[in-house]
Amino acid sequence: MFWADKIAKDIIDSKQYKPYWVNDMFTPSGFAHIGSLRGPLVHDAAYRALKTAHEKVEFTYVFNDFDPIDGLPPELVEKSGKYLGFPLRSAPSPEQGFKSFEEYFTEDFKKVLKSLGLGAKFLSSWDMYHEGKFDEVIRIALDNAEKIQDIYQKVSGSQKREKGWLPLQVICEKCGKLGTTRVHGWDGKMVSYTCEESMVTWAKGCRYTGKISPFGGVGKLPWKVDWPAHWKVLGVTIEGAGKDHSSAGGSRDIAKELCKEVFHIPNPYNLPYEFFLIGGKKMSSSKGLGLKARDLTSILPPEIGRFLFTRTDYNQAIEFNPVGTMAICDLFDEYDRCWKAYTENSDENLSRAFIYAQIDEIPEKEKIFLPRFRDIANVIQNPTTGVLQYFTGIKESPLNPKEKEILEERIRYAKVWLKNYAPSEMVMEMSRKIPEEAKNLSDNQKKYLKEVIRLLSFRHPALVRNDTLASDLQIKLYEAAKKLSISPKDAFSSIYISTIGKPFGPKAGVFLSQYPKDVLIKRFETVINGKKDSKSEKNNNSKNISHLFSIHPDVKKIFPSISAGVAVIKGVSISKSNPHLEKEKENVLKSLEELTPEKLGLYPEVISYRKLYKQMGVDWHSRRPSPEALLRRVVLGKGIYSINTCVDAYNLIVMRHRVSIGAFDYDKIKFPTILRFAKENDEILLLGEKESTKYFKKELAYYDSMGGYNIDFNYRDAQRTAVSENTKNLLINVDGVYDIAPEKVKEILQESVKIILKYCGGEVAICE
């Protein structure tokens, strides 16, 4: 029996938990990590199982927004640090557009939960306290303070007792803090309290002493009492928590005794669920372990994101590490296996796992073609392959509308996987030019490539369109290696090195089957004969740019990873705007809707520029590197600047790749230019400023013979070299450091030149 159905059966058979009320809770003190989804989805599965058993059941999800702020992620310390100790609901939001600190994080998590089909009614602890719903349990707790301390001591084994301790904290009337108040008197109507300066390490109280009624949202119970108090207030009969809460002497045991001895309610049915692990470690927002919950639906379709949790029994740990692994591909495969079991009625457990993963309606039991996710990832990397055509060939009949919809969705997620999570060996689009590594192939490997050419020569000129033919090619490739007495490892590495520049790759038969045979044969013949690639030859003959630009030796000595790309475009025609460019800007902005300040700060490009700024002695909080500054505007809902068709065009590339690009009026620069450290008393008049800014010694900047024309590598540029609608010739700079490799700089340079030509015209004079 499927685990959720078994829970429902146990609950019903026990006849102890009617009326059925399922509940779960979450404290919105930061962005929920992906492990935080296990609780709500376990409870949701139990709720669905009871409904499936035709039982009447309620399901609520409480946001504990009355809790005090007792810690902050590093990025919020500056903005929200002064609100430590305040209730989550009364502190202001760290970002505009939200009523409170709590709402900023609650709305984010609600959005994720709704997308995963959670059937709960959302409740606010703050609202329930302020509506007076907790007044009775507050009175009970205060009247039973001695008994509650006895329970703490008896259950947890703690010997600590505090004279005059009362199980309540109130909001200080003077400073507004909750986390720093100690209630030490109760006369049946009013409580006496002190806002203590050093009661906790994370906030300071104001020392105010007062007396106040504890009811109507003035005070809140400590969480070990607050938990069972919620059960009494709502009538909860089914609620679990992570297994750590159910350890002997833990919070669940204390709650159980409080139910019995203080609140006089039955102990709810417990669901002590196991942890969600990444790399064997429990998720922790404060320690930065794991993905945020909001990231799940950006890497997985909602049904498969939900399936990740519903497939595994609640008392078994879930191990999921998507970064650099095949975990996402394996999850799609398992989901498809369960879908097949559902349509074929072949395995009840697999079938139920599929059903519980659905967000809305359960699909009809009809035979459906499911394109394999890892095959999609392979196929979309070949620009010559029609994806629909390929999978039509696999199915051997046209895809129906539902199948096309599934394919399109999986293509979107496969692109995300390849870009951000796939192992390096899976990112295997055939390079446009012959990899340098191909020069080092042995004679035996070249003999093997001749045999590969022979095999390909007998194949159909079009693409291979089904698994049988790809598997047949795989077998023949192995036989060819055996025939030549070359190890399969050396044999197959010759294929991969010649095509993708790596000694390993995906299944060779499938990989080769994506490309027309004439393309492959030409590539292998060129490698065997040792001919120079035409593109490489063109690059080798390109004009040396030392007369235009150089990097000072002192810079290379201190920052050996630093690199810069330079291009010159002549005869451009720059205008104020272009309708097609505006549409492209809209599309880029739409693609960045899920970006957050936290996610932005995790990109290696952003980290690289920040690291450089730190070494230069520049505070990157006050001077954001240009790619980060541009993207922060988008994240904060401020849109992007509209300058002209040149600047707006290359800004699209900056936003896509987070790599700095600068464009300058070629005719206003006095060549040669150099990237060097600033000298004392150097000045620059920056764009948008009326007075000059002084450099300091460690700052890195681009200079010509007249002085600096930018500041801090990529922060801001000078007015005198600014690109305008009158500019006819352009100098383009792209710069990288640390994790922004020279190869990436070159790629971004080419892409920026391409988009400028698209919207401004002109001819490329130099691009290096």
Least reliable range by pLDDT among 21-30, 311-320, 403-412, 525-534? 525-534
Q: Alpha-carbon distance 613 to 443, whole Å?
A: 49
How far apart, in Å, are the Cα atoms of 28 and each of 31, 309, 539, 621?
7, 21, 55, 26
User: What's 484's domain CATH number?
Assistant: 1.10.10.350
Answer whether residue 379 is part of any domain. no
Answer whether residue 399 is part of any domain. no
pLDDT tens per residue, range 139-175: 999 999 999 999 999 998 776 577 889 999 999 999 9
Which residue bears the tokens 């809770």? 25
Cβ proximity of 314 and 43 under 8 Å: no
Same domain, 480 and 526: yes
Q: pLDDT value at position 460?
A: 45
Same domain, 616 and 668: yes
Chain-centroid distance of CA 215 in Å reads 42
pLDDT tens per residue, range 482-518: 999 999 989 999 998 998 887 877 778 877 876 777 7
- The domain boundary, picked from 268, 291, 314, lies at 291
pLDDT tens per residue, range 565-613: 999 999 989 988 888 888 888 888 888 888 888 888 888 888 888 888 8
Same domain, 69 and 114: yes
Give bridge partners of residue 575 from the DSSP assignment.
Answer: none
Q: Is the predicted pLDDT of residue 6 greater than 50, yes or no?
A: yes
Same domain, 229 and 255: yes
Going by their DSSP bridges, the two strands 57-63 and 121-124 should be labelled as: parallel
User: Which residues fall within 8 angstroms of residue 720, CB to CB, at 6 or more apart?
Assistant: 668, 685, 706, 709
The DSSP string of 129-169 is HHTTTTHHHHHHHHHTHHHHHHHHHHHH------TT--S-E
For CA atoms 583, 585, 588, 590, the dihedral sign is negative
- The domain boundary, picked from 538, 569, 587, lies at 538
Q: How many residues does the chain have?
A: 768
Q: pLDDT value at position 285?
A: 41
Q: pLDDT value at position 307?
A: 97
Answer whether residue 505 is part of any domain. yes
pLDDT interval class at 424 (50, 70, 90): low
Answer whether residue 29 is part of any domain. yes
Q: Alpha-carbon distance 391 to 573, whole Å?
A: 44
How buried is 212 (Cβ within 10 angstroms: 0-12 exposed, 13-18 middle, 19+ buried)?
middle
**Residue 593 sits in which domain range?**
549-767
Cβ proximity of 122 and 107 under 8 Å: no
Q: pLDDT value at position 678?
A: 87
Q: Alpha-carbon distance 502 to 608, whole Å?
A: 26
Give the percent of the chain with pLDDT over 90: 55
Q: Is the predicted pLDDT of residue 284 greater than 60, yes or no?
A: no
Same domain, 443 and 554: no
Tell me the three state secondary structure of residue 767.
strand
Q: Is the predicted pLDDT of residue 538 greater than 90, yes or no?
A: no
Average pLDDT over residues 381-395: 79
- CA-closest candidate to residue 238, choices 2, 110, 51, 57: 57
Answer whether residue 566 is part of any domain. yes
Considering only residues 182 and 511, tell me which one the structure prediction assigns the higher pLDDT.
Answer: 182
How buried is 763 (Cβ within 10 angstroms: 0-12 exposed, 13-18 middle, 19+ buried)?
exposed
Q: How many CB atoms lie within 10 A of CB 179?
A: 22
Same domain, 203 and 230: no
Q: Is the predicted pLDDT of residue 765 greater than 90, yes or no?
A: no
Q: Alpha-carbon distance 13 to 255, whole Å?
A: 24
- The domain boundary, picked from 538, 563, 586, lies at 538
Least reliable range by pLDDT among 238-242, 515-519, 547-551? 515-519
How far apart, in Å, are the Cα atoms of 292 and each of 324, 396, 598?
17, 41, 10
Q: pLDDT value at position 40?
A: 98
Same domain, 532 and 653: no
Q: How many CB atoms lie within 10 A of CB 621?
A: 10
- CA-closest candidate to residue 505, choices 426, 435, 614: 426
Cβ proximity of 632 and 597 under 8 Å: yes
Which of 354-368, 470-484, 489-503, 691-705 holds the top average pLDDT?
354-368
Token reading at 631: 């993207």
User: What's 568's domain CATH number?
Assistant: 3.50.40.10
Structure letter (DSSP) for residue 306: H
Q: Is the predicted pLDDT of residue 562 greater than 50, yes or no?
A: yes
Same domain, 79 and 182: no
Average pLDDT over residues 263-274: 96
Same domain, 527 and 651: no
Answer whether residue 414 is part of any domain. no
Same domain, 753 and 634: yes
pTM of structure: 0.63
In the sheet that 729-736 helps form, which strands lie side by side, from edge to edge?
Answer: 660-665, 729-736, 563-570, 763-767
Q: pLDDT value at position 581?
A: 87
User: What's 268's domain CATH number?
Assistant: 3.40.50.620
Average pLDDT over residues 726-736: 92
Same domain, 532 and 487: yes
Same domain, 497 and 471: yes
pLDDT tens per residue, range 315-359: 999 999 888 889 999 999 999 999 999 999 999 999 999 999 999
Q: pLDDT value at position 687?
A: 82
Answer whether residue 580 is part of any domain. yes
Least reliable range by pLDDT among 104-113, 424-433, 523-532? 424-433
Give bridge partners of residue 412 from the DSSP assignment.
Answer: none
Q: How many CB atoms lie within 10 A of CB 641?
A: 10
Considering its fold, how many domains does the chain have in total?
4
Answer whether residue 389 is part of any domain. no
Tell me the three state secondary structure of residue 124.
strand
Mean pLDDT across the chain = 88
Q: pLDDT value at position 270?
A: 97
Cβ proximity of 396 and 466 under 8 Å: yes
Cβ proximity of 749 and 674 under 8 Å: no
Q: Alpha-carbon distance 16 to 30, whole Å?
A: 37
Average pLDDT over residues 362-366: 91
Q: pLDDT value at position 202?
A: 93
